[in-house]
Amino acid sequence: MEQSSEKAMVSRRGLLKSVAAGGGALAAGSLGVHAMGNMENLPPNVADWSKILGEGVDARPYGTPSEHEKDVVRRHVRWLTASTESSINFTPLHDLEGIITPNGLCFERHHAGAAEVNPHDYRLMINGLVDKPLIFTLEDIKRFPRTNRIFFLECSANSGMEWRGAQLNGCQFTQGMIHCVEYTGVPLKLILEEAGLKPNAKWLMPEGGDAAGMNRSLPIHKALDDCLVAFKMNGEALRPEHGYPVRLVVPGWEGSMWVKWLRRIEVGDMPWHTREESSKYTDLMENGKSRRFTWVMDCKSVITNPSPQSPITHGKGHTVLSGLAWSGHGTIDRVDITLDGGKNWRTARIDGPSLPKALHRFYYDFEWDGSPLLMQSRAIDSSGYVQPTKNELRAVRGINSTYHNNGIQTWHVMKNGEIENVEIS
């Protein structure tokens, strides 16, 4: 079920107009009765669904969302990539709450499509500078002591289309290369200890079992710190598109390090300078040089709601602003909100768990007087780092890079409640 971004935008706009036309009836404080609803179902009548038996258990052995939520899906942008096999789609952040991303809505990034691995034929090989090269089955991996940890995964290309100016009209498209799930897995350290590291072991090269054989050089200190060899996400087996049956989890570091369908880990004494860390996943600067091995995802935030795909439909009055903040360096200390393009800042309320290298949810409730707004969020992490404006970032990095754009996002709220992606110069 493919849906183009453009179509989704059009239907949202259409919806907005019909609600607006339906009228002033939708004042703040109303019960949110929708103009297009069926009056027969509204109080004091007995609603249709209250008059009949519902579906029995097992009608859906694997549960699916309500049909009314069918637009809450991952979406890709057709013109961004030449094929869907080497492509990316985006998490619908504007439709989600809390800090956990449901498995079916986690964005996908494949270099050669999603490999379909038979778990019985799955093997993980450790070779190179180890005392004994080993091959593990899935069952072997599941016999190590395991741990459960919640982490965000952000592709370093997230917001990569926005370096030269505001481009894509939707939080899903500007910020949706991120998800945050609870992983169950084995600390990579334990697996490496089983093989025994030679004294000169300094780097690892995890390699994927997909046709791309995706590989990156991973310094040993990170591998021994908090990396996981994961086989579950949010309690169930990894989905095929996220690396079933086993993926590497590299907390706080760019998504390309999180090798999916993990088939091999080579241990060496130097980095390999693979394609994905020389030609790609390096940051081209103005002077023609590139930053490389920029692994950590810096502190960033975004207002997920209201946002272009989720306009203000209730008119003036009490408005709930919801958003996400995260940092690869630790937790989020504070999130500031401005509604007037940076003249006045207020502190948002962080709600829910505050875990290192995981998404944080923030809220800011305000009274909208119906005038245009320039909304921004600015996060500060536990290292004291303050999320920069896009222009501050450009002053240091230029505009040639695709990766690591963590600049402040601006949403322009118009009088009619519609919202667009803009920049303040």
Residues found near Co ion in the complex (CB under 5 A): 109, 155, 255-256
Out of 74, 75, 94, 110, the residue judged to bind ligand MTE by CB under 6 A: 110
Taking CB under 6 A as the rule, does residue 214 contact ligand MTE? Answer: yes
Q: In terms of CB distance, is 155 or 186 closer to Co ion? A: 155
Looking at 117, 197, 259, 332, which residue binds ligand MTE (CB under 6 A)? Answer: 259
> What's the Cα-to-Cα distance from 401 to each of 213, 382, 391, rounded to whole Å?
24, 26, 14
Which of 90, 183, 253, 261 touches ligand MTE (CB under 6 A)?
Answer: 261
Q: Which residues contact 48 (CB under 8 A, 6 or more apart)?
A: 38, 40, 41
* Gap between the Cα atoms of 37 and 45, Å rounded: 13
Q: Does 90 bind ligand MTE (CB under 6 A)?
A: no
Which among 332, 345, 410, 326 has a CA at the least distance from the CA of 372? 410
3-class secondary structure for 35-103?
A: CCCCHHHCCCCCCHHHCCCCCCCCCCCCCCCCHHHCCCCCECCHHHCCCCCCEECECCHHHCCCCCCCH
Instruction: Count the site residues for ligand MTE by CB under 6 A.
Output: 21
| Nearest CB to Co ion, comparing residues 254 and 336 | 254
Question: Would you say 158 or 307 has its CB closer to Co ion?
Answer: 158
Pick from 129, 188, 212, 229 the residue near ligand MTE by CB under 6 A: 212
Give, as ranges, the residues between 41 and 70 that touch ligand MTE (CB under 6 A). none
- Residue found under tokens 């709450």: 97
Nearest distance from residue 190's CB to ligand MTE, in Å?
22
In sequence order, the β-bridge partners of residue 332 are: 381
266 binds, among Co ion, ligand MTE, none (CB under 5 to 8 A by kind): none
261 interface partner picked from ligand MTE, Co ion, none, CB below 5 to 8 A per type = ligand MTE
String marking each residue 134-173 x if it binds ligand MTE according to CB under 6 A? -------------------x-x------------------
Q: Determine the Cα–Cα distance for residues 380 and 382; give it in Å rounded to an integer.
A: 7
Give the shortest CB-108-to-ligand MTE separation in angstroms: 4
Q: Which of 107, 183, 231, 362 binds ligand MTE (CB under 6 A)?
A: 107
Contact mark string toward ligand MTE, 221..250, x via CB under 6 A:
--------------------xx--------
Which 3 state secondary structure label does DSSP give 279?
coil
Pick 90 or 411: Cβ nearer ligand MTE: 90
Q: From the list ligand MTE, Co ion, none, pick the one residue 258 interacts with, judged by a Cβ distance below 5 to 8 Å according to partner type.
A: ligand MTE
Q: Closest distance between Co ion and the C-beta of residue 256, in Å?
A: 5
Q: Which helix (H) or strand (E) holds 21?
A: helix 5-22
**Residue of 388, 372, 361 whose CA lies nearest to 97:** 361
Q: Are 219 and 269 in contact (CB under 8 A)?
A: no
Q: Give the nearest distance from C-beta 255 to Co ion in angstroms.
A: 4
Q: Is there a contact between 155 and 177 (Cβ–Cβ < 8 Å)?
A: yes
Find the shortest distance in angstroms from Cβ 157 to Co ion.
Answer: 6
Q: In whole angstroms, what is the distance from residue 396 CA to residue 391 CA?
A: 9
What is the 8-class DSSP label of residue 264? E
Should residue 210 be labelled a site residue for ligand MTE when binding is judged by CB under 6 A? yes
Planar angle of CA 76, 185, 331, nearest 5 degrees = 70
Residue (256 or 305) nearer to Co ion, CB: 256
Q: Closer to Co ion at the Cβ: 195 or 233?
A: 233
The CA-CA-CA angle for residues 411, 412, 417, to 5°, reads 110
The label of the residue with tokens 């087996």 reads 237
**Contact footprint for ligand MTE (CB under 6 A):** 106-111, 153, 155, 179, 208, 210, 212, 214, 241-242, 255-256, 258-261
